[in-house]
Amino acid sequence: MVIIGNGIAAKTLLFELFKTLKASETNCQNFSVAQIFSNQHFPNCSEKSTATISLNGVDVGVSTLGDLLVEGYDEFCNFVYNNQPDGIELVDQYIISTDGDNDQKLSRRFNQLTSLDFKLLKNSHKGVLLKSFLLSPTIFNSWIDSRNSLHSFLQIEDVVKDVKTISAEHVLVELFGGKSIKSKYVVICSGAYFNILKNFNQDNLEFFSDSVVSGSYLVRDFFYDQSFFLTLNGHNVFYRNQDNKLIIGSSSQKGNFMLPRSNELCDILDYLTKHLNLDLGSLDQFKMITGLRHKGPKRLPICGFVDEKKKISVISGLYKNGYTLSFSMSKKMINLLLSQQCFSRMNLE
């Protein structure tokens, strides 16, 4: 099997795959897996993410996306509980409103607001308190990479040029470097660069209504006694004790712009500086980080087979929720592949 990508979707899929293979060792004698990616040419979004895992008032039974987010959050909690990974911390997220307009917005989202005292705000305000996670991409990625590397698989750093079904049994993955890999199954986890690889299925229009939305945030090294997570009138500011990062944002703009919206980020910093009892620092002390998010049709994640012969599949369109959704999407993908009995008799050629 070939997995394209090295973001959170590909890493969690590999993790889930190796877990499944370990549990069913006798059936997978000839199984081999290759991971192909080129972070150099296609920078991954997962390293440029604020990577919070929060439900923000989403509940089941309201929308398909809401149901998937709750399922994703629960699966993330299970993953943390079962594996105790590095780089993840459960924190109190204070969602606070300081004015009437925001009170109304928050009340619509959460049924009841209470009066909250957040230590970095001068006064108490209306809001809600949630249990959410802060994830350091650097620490977590190195943890999951080291777990995955306990298993043998081929890693190829190259650009995938095309993915095509060449027979009832095989898919050909063509690389810019000149090599081709013949495989029985391919899972594409290519994030915002999905468009480049869409030629495999010209007829499946559902997958063509995706788009790219760039996102930017401010980050700086900082020292404080413990992690905190505040959403103040819709703006996030949080501090991760694990890697001493203070993060503010993020902003969004449609299209694949790698340039941040610096004015908007500057306004958010000014706004938070005015409200907080903490010296956040000036704009020039921060780095601006930008990543490209892949938005699926109706903001929904894409997880399934995309060719008639069920040889090519995709996990993508994770949009603003890649860290929340990857764990449940990977499980779903493994179940789909199991339903095709694809873990027996597989070899790369």
Task: Summarize as ranges the residues that interact with ligand FAD (CB under 6 A).
Answer: 4-10, 36-39, 42, 44-46, 48-52, 159-160, 189-193, 196-197, 215-217, 250, 291, 293, 316, 318-324
Q: In whole angstroms, how close is the CB of 348 to ligand FAD at the nearest point?
A: 16
Query: For ligand FAD, which is the closer residue by CB, 10 or 126?
Result: 10
H or E element: which one contains 109?
helix 100-109
* Helices and strands (DSSP H and E) totals, the chain: 6, 18
b or e along 54-82 (b: 16 or more beta carbons within 10 Å of the residue's beta carbon)? bbeebeeeeeebeebbbbbbebbeebbee
Q: Report CA 223 to chain centroid distance, whole Å.
A: 26
Which string of DSSP letters, residue by residue, matches 221-284?
Answer: E---SS-EEEEETTEEEEEETTTTEEEEEEEEEEB---S--HHHHHHHHHHHHHHBSS----GG
Q: In whole angstroms, how close is the CB of 288 to ligand FAD at the nearest point?
A: 10
Question: Phi and psi for 194 in degrees, rounded to 5?
Answer: -55, -40
Query: For ligand FAD, which is the closer residue by CB, 126 or 214?
Result: 214
Report the distance separating Cα 182 and Cα 17, nearest Å.
Answer: 20
Q: In whole angstroms, how close is the CB of 235 to ligand FAD at the nearest point?
A: 13
Order across the sheet with 171-175: list the strands. Answer: 160-165, 171-175, 180-183
Q: In whole angstroms, how close is the CB of 197 to ligand FAD at the nearest point?
A: 6
Q: In whole angstroms, how close is the CB of 318 to ligand FAD at the nearest point?
A: 4
Closest CA to 46 of 155, 156, 150, 142: 142
Query: For ligand FAD, which is the closer residue by CB, 325 or 337?
Result: 325
Query: For ligand FAD, which is the closer residue by CB, 103 or 145?
Result: 145
DSSP state of 318: B
User: Closest CB to ligand FAD belongs to which residue?
Assistant: 7
Query: For ligand FAD, which is the closer residue by CB, 126 or 148?
Result: 148
Q: Which residues, in sequence order, are bridge partners of residue 290?
A: 216
Q: In whole angstroms, how close is the CB of 31 to ligand FAD at the nearest point?
A: 22
Query: For ligand FAD, which is the closer residue by CB, 10 or 58?
Result: 10
Q: In whole angstroms, how close is the CB of 161 to ligand FAD at the nearest point?
A: 7
Query: For ligand FAD, which is the closer residue by CB, 126 or 322?
Result: 322
Question: Phi and psi for 252 in degrees, rounded to 5?
Answer: -135, 145
Query: For ligand FAD, which is the closer residue by CB, 127 or 301?
Result: 301
Q: In whole angstroms, how close is the CB of 115 to ligand FAD at the nearest point?
A: 27
Query: For ligand FAD, which is the closer residue by CB, 126 or 330?
Result: 330
CB contact set of 80 (below 8 Å; sequence gap of 6+): 88, 90, 133
Q: In whole angstroms, how close is the CB of 159 to ligand FAD at the nearest point?
A: 4
H or E element: which one contains 148?
helix 137-148
Six token digits for residue 198: 């869409």
